[in-house]
Amino acid sequence: MHAKRLTCILVGPALLLLSVLTLSSTLTTPGAQAVGVSLWMIFWWISRPVDITVTALIPAIANAFLNIVPMSEVISQYSCESIILIVGSGLITLPWAAIGLDRRIALKVLSLVGPSMRSQITVWLLASTLLTTCLPNVAVCAMFTPIAVSMLKAAGYDNISDCAAAVPILLAIGWGVSLGGAGTPLGGAMNLTAISFLEEYTGKEFMYVDWVIRIAPYFIIAILVLLGCMLLLPVKVKSLEGTKEYFKSSYAELGPMKPIEKVCAALFLIAMLCAFTRPLYAALLPGMVPAYAFLTIGFLCFFITLRDKGPLLTWETAQKGTMWGMMILFASGLAMGKLLNGSGASGCLAELVSGLNLDGGFLTVVALVVFTRVIAEMTNGTTAAAVVCPIVFGVTEMLGLNPVPYWFITTMAFNAEFLLPISVRAIPVSYGLDADKMLKWGIPVVLVHMALVIACGYAAMQLWPTFSSLPYLFP
């Protein structure tokens, strides 16, 4: 085994041991153990001695030995409603690749691209951002990146790693899907993680439409700011001739939209409608939360058949196409939060934070945003949500503050990752994007984004009462 990998593997459990030895008197032994498990996971997610999905199994394994909380509380996180939502959305969208609907959507949007690099950056960024509001960021990035690479090769750039034109385009995709997750709760697992913690804290159901209303002003501003930042970055290539024609011809090759594509698109739109109109039928169907609405419609895909082509979806296709690793990764964040909360570690950490003379004002927002952004950039948004959300609720409860605005500000902060080739950002890098250039170009963008979240979040707290209000959760 490589010495560096072995060292990283051993450091993980060593952090658990160190945490128990140094923090037990401050946090209690279970609390110190929970913090140690969290540090172990975060370190392995950063250093990558094993796959990130393997790391995601640590909460269950560690708890089996340490019994920090009842094992049922940990295991239940791997089959919660948010996992069901991921499964359901996957069942609905899995047929898209086989019938070409995903490529049709992408090519139709990208046919708006002009030859200038400014147009390229604008369309790729906006398309990635907006599609990610309703589709998982991983799926959008995995769909757009190979199309972008094919476009560049059609324009004469065969070596993507040495292609100056590839850098802004692939960054626009990677950064766009990262930012786009903030638009709706369906934008990524990190949002579902945050919602799960909120619902667990309140014991009540959160309505997705309230997310859209309160995040929309920031989201629009953030898109424009990110676009402005990207247009200001130095780009050697000024235009890519023939790209518009490439997308139009590629789209024309698909032919007219087939009935099966229309059915798939309709099913997805119905599921989206169910999710965002939930307040209208919640009293009539209390059990039909968005997770089960998506699962129900996904279930129908096994039965809907057009002519003699068989069902839209077979179990074999579902089994192969479901992103099992992403679900385990998502669940591990919830499990880690369960360890921190159940052991009392979150409460103790909240006490320590509250001792920093934070009063819920501007400095509190700054500290919260900076901490969340650091975790998100080192790991991913899902991990950041799992680490920060319990602390947010603990601190606000300790200080007697309304947690709603701080929770929304946290969601703004972790829905953006710009620096390292991990999480969804690994996809453009795997296609040839220089990771060093991602880091170099990402540093000023991160600083701008942090300042934007702080400014928008604090201004919303002070000037927009709706931003801080969820009366059905916090009367």
At a CB cut-off of 8 Å and minimum separation 6, what does 255 contact?
A: none
**pLDDT at residue 271, as a whole number:** 87
Percentage, residues of the chain above pLDDT 90: 21
At a CB cut-off of 8 Å and minimum separation 6, what does 191 contact?
A: 181, 182, 184, 185, 211, 385, 411, 415
Is the pLDDT at 166 greater than 90? The verdict is no
Tell me how far apart the alpha carbons of residues 397 and 392 are, in angstroms, rounded to a whole number.
Answer: 8
At a CB cut-off of 8 Å and minimum separation 6, what does 9 contact?
A: 49, 50
Render pLDDT for 358-371 as a digit per residue (tens, 0 to 9).
777 898 899 889 88
Query: pLDDT class for 222, splitting at 50, 70, 90?
Result: very high
| Residue of higher predicted confidence among 13 and 142 | 13
| Residue of higher predicted confidence among 403 and 291 | 403
Q: Which of 245, 264, 296 is nearest to 95 (CA)?
A: 264
Render pLDDT for 368-401 as a digit per residue (tens, 0 to 9).
898 888 878 876 777 788 878 888 888 888 888 8
**Any idea which residue has 């739109």 for tokens?**
269
What's the whole-number average pLDDT of the chain? 83
- Region 431-459: what's the mean pLDDT? 87
Tell me how far apart the alpha carbons of residues 32 and 17 are, in angstroms, rounded to a whole number.
Answer: 9
**Domain boundary assignment for the chain:** 1-50
**Whole-structure pTM value:** 0.76
| Residue of higher predicted confidence among 207 and 89 | 207
Query: pLDDT class for 18, splitting at 50, 70, 90?
Result: very high
Give CA 70 to chain center in angstroms. Answer: 28
Render pLDDT for 90-144 as a digit per residue (tens, 0 to 9).
888 888 878 888 778 777 777 777 777 888 888 889 988 988 888 777 777 777 8
Render pLDDT for 260-315 as a digit per residue (tens, 0 to 9).
888 888 998 898 888 888 888 888 888 888 888 888 998 998 998 877 677 888 89
Percentage, residues of the chain above pLDDT 70: 92
**pLDDT at residue 379, as a whole number:** 66
* 238 within 8 A of 116, measured Cβ to Cβ: yes
Backbone angles phi, psi at 122, to 5 degrees: -60, -50
- Region 171-175: what's the mean pLDDT? 88
Query: pLDDT class for 226, splitting at 50, 70, 90?
Result: very high
